[in-house]
Amino acid sequence: MTRSISVVIPAYQAARFIGEALESVSNQTIRVERIVVVDDGSTDDTAGAVIDWSRQSGVPVALIGKPNGGAGSARNVGRERTDSELLMFLDADDRLVKDALEHLCHALESQPSALIAYGAMETLVEEGGAGTIAHQRAVIATGPVMLLSSTLMRRRAFDEIGPFEDGNVSSMDWFAQIIERGAAASVSIDRVVAERRIHSANTSTNTKNLMSEYARMVKASLDRRRARGT
């Protein structure tokens, strides 16, 4: 089957890591049709790092700049600049393993009704990262986990669910709506597909903010279930 895949990378203050993320996409064992980086109002040299990597590697990258609005809005902007059948949203400080997209594609092909396929993630903990408590904040590779950097999505999923919410914790309610659709809406694979970097500048690992978002997500999910009578 011919696959059309785009990878969207939202980037904020990502100059240190964006090259590694891009390299992990370009090294995939199957072809990526389009790589889009959305610079979400960075004040470091994120844009320059993307341009330099693209020039040195010879791999085209669509670089889009926008005012800061959070990773969710950046992902939505990137999605609108692609027309691929399949989409991956890779965080700028994460890395894909070399055969990630190949295995996730096969999983989706095996389950035509599934909207997403996802796998496990390993954790990269930055040495000396201030405020980092690795055993509390790490996502470990004990099984598949619904995080954006470990998930391949069909474009039609957005027709059914809508865009991501704005903000940095933008995917939690989106994934909740996938879960609400039942087991047929997703397929998981028991293999590591990405490496998640834990460091002091992570935008989505503030415990207080996460707890608030979890509470809001649970309420929204319960409200939807009540409205459907389920």
Residue 130: the pLDDT is 43
Beta bridge partners of 40: 66
Residue 136: the pLDDT is 44
- pLDDT, tens digit, 9 for 90 and up, residues 178-218: 999 999 999 999 999 999 988 655 555 444 565 565 455 55
Residue 212: the pLDDT is 64
Parallel, antiparallel or unpaired: strands 62-66 and 34-40: parallel
Q: Do residues 157 and 116 lie in contact, with contact meaning Cβ atoms separated by under 8 Å?
A: yes
Residue 63: Cβ-neighbour burial (10 angstroms; 0-12, 13-18, 19+):
middle
What's the pTM? 0.84
Q: Do residues 7 and 80 lie in contact, with contact meaning Cβ atoms separated by under 8 Å?
A: no
pLDDT at 220 over 70: no
Q: What is the residue range of 140's domain? A: 5-228
| Cα 29 versus chain centre, distance | 19
Residue 83, both tokens: 């027309």
What's the structural domain count of the chain?
A: 1
Q: Do residues 7 and 35 lie in contact, with contact meaning Cβ atoms separated by under 8 Å?
A: yes
- pLDDT, tens digit, 9 for 90 and up, residues 75-116: 999 999 999 999 999 999 999 999 999 999 999 999 999 999
The CATH number of whichever domain residue 56 belongs to comes to: 3.90.550.10
- pLDDT, tens digit, 9 for 90 and up, residues 114-161: 999 999 999 876 655 444 444 444 555 678 999 999 999 999 999 999
Residue 205: the pLDDT is 47
pLDDT at 10 over 60: yes
Residue 121: the pLDDT is 94
pLDDT at 225 over 90: no
Q: What does the buried/exposed string (b/e) look like for 195-230 if buried means 16 or more CB atoms within 10 Å of the residue's CB? A: bbbbbebbbbbeeeeeeebeeebeeebeeeeeeeee
Give the number of residues written for the chain.
Answer: 230
Cite the DSSP H helix spans in the chain.
Answer: 18-26, 46-57, 71-80, 100-110, 134-137, 156-161, 172-180, 207-228
Residue 86: the pLDDT is 98
